């Protein structure tokens, strides 16, 4: 059994490491790790419907898709993430998996008089408030279960980054359920820092585990996953399920409504209506935007190449770009 206490706080690297450890190591693993500010979305979510795009862009918060299911979560250095990787057992369904891997966390917290408990299938609560969400990924006969442990996270950043208007998005993607949340630090009888909390969990849960040191080949493989997958918009945004998007806005130039379909992160069809004035047919503009990735960067690149004044008289580029999000 291996214990890994990671010091990297790079969210791209940490998510890549999760995949590598699941697929390449054969021993059971207990891992503790932290990310700098990041939004981590579930495997089957529509990324854009889960985030406040303006907020995360303004605050330079990375948005990264993980391998496991479940909802979107906000990470910062006040949040400790834990991971268990082990083999599946006979007739073990997902509820039993969650109970198996959250029990050591509950027992550790109970030992310092923090009355944590499992609620529903995969949430850990204190006093009716959620401090840990958990998710599972299965690869062949191996299970990865990871969860958050809100220790002293910024609640303002958490709520700001995850604000969303899902009514814009029509599709089969999994929507996050927002719960009342709390920090573990508020319930400690004896105060401790995040580092002291990590050391406490290491001793309580990982004392019988062998400390694992990454080899050069491990690090090279993880770095490759970062570059080839976890830093790419095609993974973080483009793997969103097929969805429809609509937005209607009143601008100085008139009322404009955008309706579009997005498939594998790429705009497959778009229609624009409104009472704006134009010179060239709107259909021509729609043809130019079709086939573009539904990301702020790619939409901006595309629109900056178009003489938008021909299609929408009196509109600014930024106003037009914002209509697509």
* pLDDT score for 204: 96
Question: What backbone phi and psi angles, to 5 degrees, belong to 74?
Answer: -105, 130
Write the CATH number for 209. Answer: 3.30.930.10
Domain that holds residue 24: 2-236
Q: Are residues 231 and 292 in the same domain?
A: no
* DSSP annotation of 308: G
Q: Are residues 210 and 156 in the same domain?
A: yes
Whether the CA torsion 142, 29, 232, 269 is positive or negative: it is positive
Q: Are residues 91 and 179 in the same domain?
A: yes
Q: Are residues 256 and 203 in the same domain?
A: no
What is the mean predicted confidence (pLDDT) over 254-259? 89
Domain boundary among 236, 268, 292: 236
* pLDDT score for 18: 98
Q: Are residues 165 and 262 in the same domain?
A: no
Q: Are residues 231 and 247 in the same domain?
A: no
CB–CB of 75/133 below 8 Å? no
Number of domains the chain is built from: 2
* pLDDT score for 163: 66
148, containing H or E segment:
strand 142-150
* pLDDT score for 172: 57
pLDDT tens digits along 125-158: 999 999 999 999 999 999 999 999 999 998 877 7
Whole-model pTM over 0.95: no
* pLDDT score for 230: 97
* pLDDT score for 13: 98
* pLDDT score for 215: 97
Residue 86 structure tokens: 């082990």
What is the mean predicted confidence (pLDDT) over 188-193? 94
* pLDDT score for 103: 97
Q: Are residues 184 and 48 in the same domain?
A: yes
Q: Are residues 209 and 315 in the same domain?
A: no
Residue appearing with tokens 């995040």: 194
Domain boundary among 210, 236, 262: 236
Measured CA to CA, the distance from residue 50 to residue 309 in angstroms comes to: 32
* pLDDT for residue 174 is more than 80: no
Measured CA to CA, the distance from residue 52 to residue 56 in angstroms comes to: 6
Write the CATH number for 274. Answer: 3.30.390.50
Q: Identify the band that residue 239 occupies on the pLDDT scale cut at 50, 70 and 90.
A: confident
Three-state DSSP class for residue 292: coil
Nearest to 65 by CA among 41, 38, 49: 41
Q: Are residues 53 and 20 in the same domain?
A: yes
Nearest to 148 by CA among 72, 65, 226, 209: 72
pLDDT tens digits along 41-92: 999 888 888 888 888 989 999 999 999 988 889 999 999 999 999 999 888 8
Residue appearing with tokens 């499992």: 118
Q: Are residues 274 and 137 in the same domain?
A: no
Q: Identify the band that residue 304 occupies on the pLDDT scale cut at 50, 70 and 90.
A: very high
* pLDDT score for 53: 84
Q: Identify the band that residue 265 occupies on the pLDDT scale cut at 50, 70 and 90.
A: confident
Count helices and strands in the chain by DSSP H and E runs: 11, 15
Q: Are residues 217 and 304 in the same domain?
A: no
Q: Are residues 278 and 171 in the same domain?
A: no
* pLDDT score for 234: 86
Domain boundary among 236, 260, 291: 236
Virtual CA dihedral for 129, 18, 104, 212, nearest 10 degrees?
-140
191-200, 205-214, 232-241, 275-284, range with the lowest pLDDT: 232-241
């Amino acid at each position: 059994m291996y214990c890994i206490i990671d010091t990297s706080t790079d969210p791209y690297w940490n998510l890549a490491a999760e995949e590598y450890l699941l697929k390449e190591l054969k021993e059971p693993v207990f891992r503790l790790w932290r990310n700098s500010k990041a939004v981590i979305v579930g495997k089957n979510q529509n990324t854009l419907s889960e985030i406040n795009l303006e907020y995360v862009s303004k605050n330079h918060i990375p948005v990264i898709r993980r391998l496991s299911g479940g909802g979107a979560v906000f990470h910062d250095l006040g949040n400790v993430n834990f991971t268990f990787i082990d083999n599946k057992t006979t007739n073990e369904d997902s509820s039993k998996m969650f109970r198996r891997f959250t029990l050591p966390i509950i027992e550790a917290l109970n030992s310092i008089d923090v009355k944590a408990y499992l609620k529903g299938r995969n949430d850990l609560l204190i006093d009716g408030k959620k401090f840990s969400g958990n998710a599972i990924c299965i690869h062949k006969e191996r299970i990865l279960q990871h969860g958050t442990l809100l220790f002293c996270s910024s609640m303002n950043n958490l709520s700001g980054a995850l604000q969303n208007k899902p009514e814009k998005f029509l599709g089969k993607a999994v929507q996050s359920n927002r719960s009342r949340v709390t920090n573990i630090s508020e319930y400690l009888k004896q105060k401790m820092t995040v580092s002291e909390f990590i050391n406490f969990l290491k001793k309580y849960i990982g004392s019988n585990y062998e400390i694992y040191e990454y080899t050069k080949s491990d690090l090279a493989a993880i770095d490759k996953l970062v570059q080839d997958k976890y830093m790419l918009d095609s993974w973080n945004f483009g793997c969103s399920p097929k969805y429809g998007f609509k937005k209607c806005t009143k601008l100085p130039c008139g009322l404009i409504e955008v309706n579009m379909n997005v498939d594998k992160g790429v705009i497959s069809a778009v229609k624009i209506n409104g009472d704006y004035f134009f010179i060239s047919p709107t259909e021509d503009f729609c043809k130019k935007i079709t086939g573009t990735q539904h990301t702020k960067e790619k939409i901006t690149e595309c629109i900056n190449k178009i003489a938008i004044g021909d299609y929408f008289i009196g509109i600014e580029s930024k106003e037009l770009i914002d209509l697509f999000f």
